[in-house]
């Protein structure tokens, strides 16, 4: 089964000030580009969602209680850039009350999905529900693990396997809970090679040996 990356991002829960993180504020503090440099600003037509600022393949959105920095491509290079933007936000706004910092690596299956189905299946529970007349339309399995003796041992990695009718997904969330800005900066300062190694190791532990990065 092939895995295709999608929606890789960095998320920093906190009480971010939208009056400071305007599109120009994001350009100055996160992207660190000169005033007047061309950026893209996307505003939802219904005005119910916050605007999104895009520059050099990175998208930034400031919600009520979290800062989301997304990547246009599912690659470790792009994720490293998003993590840098997260560090910039923390360093330039150190008085912002923050709660945690994390980054997400997500894949969806291409073609055969039997391997994910095998991992998330629970024979006893599925049998009991089927015998009771229920139709199972999806399965979700979560595991929280601590990566001992690694760059991520101070946080938690959540592995999610999601088997739905329309798609099968594998998601990895690397998160550290802390109110200390320096600790969160350190978390987002993980080397690209360490992130890639951790993802490879977890996927191989689940029986997956390869995936296709989006270049």
Q: Give a yes or no: residue 212 inside a domain.
A: no
Using CA atoms, how far apart are residues 107 and 170, in angstroms rounded to an integer? Answer: 5
Q: Please give the pLDDT value at position 212.
A: 58
The 10s digit of each residue's pLDDT in 14-32 is: 999 999 999 999 999 999 9
Q: Give a yes or no: residue 215 inside a domain.
A: no
- For residues 26 and 109, the model is more confident at 26
Q: Give a yes or no: residue 53 inside a domain.
A: yes
The percentage of residues in the chain with a pLDDT greater than 90, rounded to a whole number, is 68
The percentage of residues in the chain with a pLDDT greater than 70, rounded to a whole number, is 96
pTM, two decimals, is 0.90
Q: Give a yes or no: residue 152 inside a domain.
A: yes
Q: Please give the pLDDT value at position 48.
A: 77
Contacts of residue 21, Cβ cutoff 8 Å, sequence gap at least 6: 29, 30, 62, 67, 89, 93
Residue 21 exposed, middle or buried by CB count within 10 Å (0-12, 13-18, 19+): buried
- Count Cβ neighbours within 10 Å for each residue of 90-100 and write b for 16 or more, e otherwise: beebeebebeb
Q: Please give the pLDDT value at position 97.
A: 97
Q: What band does 209 get if pLDDT is binned at 50, 70 and 90?
A: low
Q: Which of 1-5, 91-95, 151-155, 157-161 has the lowest mean pLDDT?
A: 1-5
Q: Please give the pLDDT value at position 215.
A: 46
Q: Give a yes or no: residue 59 inside a domain.
A: yes
Residue span of the structural domain in which 108 resides? 2-205
- For residues 120 and 201, the model is more confident at 201
Q: For 87-114, what is the mean pLDDT?
A: 93
Q: Please give the pLDDT value at position 211.
A: 62
Q: Give a yes or no: residue 214 inside a domain.
A: no
The 10s digit of each residue's pLDDT in 60-83 is: 999 989 999 999 999 999 999 999
Residue 210 has pLDDT above 60, yes or no: no
Q: Give a yes or no: residue 109 inside a domain.
A: yes
Please state the domain count of the chain.
1
Q: Give a yes or no: residue 97 inside a domain.
A: yes
């Amino acid at each position: 089964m092939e895995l295709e990356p999608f929606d890789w991002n960095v998320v920093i829960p906190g009480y971010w000030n939208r009056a400071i993180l305007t599109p120009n504020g994001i350009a100055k503090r996160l992207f660190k580009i000169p005033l007047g440099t061309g950026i893209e600003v996307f505003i939802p037509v219904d005005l119910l969602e916050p605007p999104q600022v895009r520059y050099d393949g990175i998208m930034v959105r400031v919600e009520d209680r979290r800062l989301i920095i997304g990547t246009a491509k599912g690659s470790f290079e792009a994720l490293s850039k998003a993590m840098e933007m997260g560090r910039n936000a923390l360093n330039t706004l150190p008085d912002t009350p923050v709660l945690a910092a994390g980054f997400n690596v997500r894949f969806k299956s291409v073609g055969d999905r039997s391997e994910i189905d095998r991992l998330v299946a629970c024979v006893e529970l599925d049998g009991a529900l089927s015998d009771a007349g229920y139709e199972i339309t999806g399965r979700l399995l979560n595991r929280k693990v601590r990566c001992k003796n690694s760059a991520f041992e101070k946080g938690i990695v959540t592995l999610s396997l999601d088997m739905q009718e329309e798609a099968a997904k594998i998601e990895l969330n690397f998160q550290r809970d802390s109110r200390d800005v320096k600790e969160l900066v350190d978390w987002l300062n993980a080397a690209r090679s360490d992130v890639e190694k951790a993802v490879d190791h977890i996927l191989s532990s689940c029986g997956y040996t390869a995936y296709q990065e989006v270049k």
